[in-house]
Structure 1
């Protein structure tokens, strides 16, 4: 049997639904995730999973391999083996990684009731929790895999109406670009990343001006007011944590345990903001293609 099929089946059987934050239902004849569950997590069809596991499809794209690697919570060594089994070159060390380490995936499964999102070093969205999506009225990564905070801020201009940084929009934009400069210093040989920067520069004079300032700094925590159409304005702390030995960023919004802001957040957690967003059960391993 083809190595790719063997690996996919073996990795699927070692995960339980609880490991990926989904509810188990019905009697299970075999251990591990069902094919339907893996397909949902990776954003592919069940038929495609079947064809891969039966060896009838042996050349998945790099995007599909990356999505499945995240869904299966593979570590970096396993991910590299998965790429090679698909006759693909694993992403190099200079490439902006969209891999969420398995330990981080398990951690954010346990934090799934918080407004939490995971971003790559180029600010591509890799995962968001249901409360994050309810707070910002945004789709899941499975539904829209091309979400990028830099593009949303400087090209689409869609962020300003959703949230306001208390230091002002200029402070938020400068912090984003300075952080992206850190990525350029570490991944300057990534051709996709360089092309991404060139595209945003061409479309946004505001971004180009900030980029040309050359300021380099890690994104700092901020206080923001989120403008929600159902529950109203919510004042929240926004903390950005970079995972050690990884470029992955965890962005978490929080507030005090009591008070009007906490009440509004709890209303959204209980489903009070569902009128503005699509509610689904996407996992931490939702698929995202590279730039």
Structure 2
């Protein structure tokens, strides 16, 4: 009942786990100076620390799912080349197909796939073609409205046996990107004009 009240799928056979283990939580608590987030097997955001929220912006509702956001949502802050966008789309569709096979009883996942197939010709094309891809570590440029462009390394760690993905952004030490990331850690989600910060765990 509590899982339903929180808008989450209850844990059980055939459904996507949405439980962050205590060990993963402890790890996140120690990465306060690094943008870090946790997604489930469907790329739905479960948790993001304040610096990740400051970097990528607040996400609510459907936008908490990265696949929905990339195929149906508004443009985000990450720059993409045509090649990087194709690779991302292929990897996400491949991951969603694997999740659907692994968690066949998850109704929320079924609804997500149905919505994407109906409303995105690109998603439907990749889904029907059986395209295979894999999310990999990469360098990404994020256009932030307050501190400017940051080029960061993005690593994705999979927590064995849970379906959880930990997304971590880091900057090369001594670079302008590192300086801008440090500034972002100071201002949080407030603007440089001095609006009240709303940085928090979603």
TM-score normalised over the length of structure 2: 0.86
Q: Secondary structure of 1:258's match? A: coil
2:38 to 118, 133, 138: 118
**Can you give the 5+ residue segments of structure 1 that lack an aligned partner in the other structure?**
1-59, 68-88, 287-291
1:156 to 67, 73, 85: 73
Q: Secondary structure of 1:242's match? A: strand
Q: Aligned partners of 2:23 and 2:146: how far apart in 1?
A: 35
User: When you count strand as a share of all residues, which structure comes out higher?
Assistant: 2
Note if contact 1:182-1:217 (Cα within 8 Å) is conserved in structure 2.
no
**CA offsets 1:185-230 (integer angstroms, 9 cap, x no match):** 2123323312210111111111111112213343111211101112
Q: Structure 1 residues 278, 126: closer, same or farther in 2, change over 3 A? A: farther
Q: Secondary structure of 2:155's match? A: strand
2:198 aligns to what? 280
Pairwise CA distance, 1:273: 5.8
Q: Structure 1 residues 278, 193: closer, same or farther in 2, change over 3 A? A: farther
2:3 aligns to what? 62
**Which structure has the larger Rg over C-alpha atoms?**
1
Pairwise CA distance, 1:90: 5.2
Note if contact 1:123-1:148 (Cα within 8 Å) is conserved in structure 2.
yes
1:31 aligns to what? none
Q: Aligned partners of 2:30 and 2:188: how far apart in 1?
A: 22
Q: Secondary structure of 1:118's match? A: strand
2:47 aligns to what? 127
2:117 aligns to what? 201
Alignment of 1:104-253 (within 5 A): 104-139=24-59, 144=60, 146=62, 147-159=64-76, 162-165=77-80, 167-253=83-169
Q: Secondary structure of 2:25's match? A: helix
**CA offsets 1:121-152 (integer angstroms, 9 cap, x no match):** 1111111111111111224xxxx354211111
Q: Aligned partners of 2:106 and 2:145: how far apart in 1?
A: 39
Alignment of 1:23-38 (within 5 A): none
Alignment of 1:37-116 (within 5 A): 60-64=1-5, 91-116=11-36
Q: Aligned partners of 1:243 and 1:66: how far apart in 2?
A: 23
Pairwise CA distance, 1:179: 1.9
Pairwise CA distance, 1:170: 1.6
TM-score normalised over the length of structure 1: 0.62
Q: Aligned partners of 2:119 and 2:109: how far apart in 1?
A: 16
Aligned pairs, number: 198
Q: Secondary structure of 1:93's match? A: coil
2:171 aligns to what? 255
1:268 and 2:184 correspond: yes
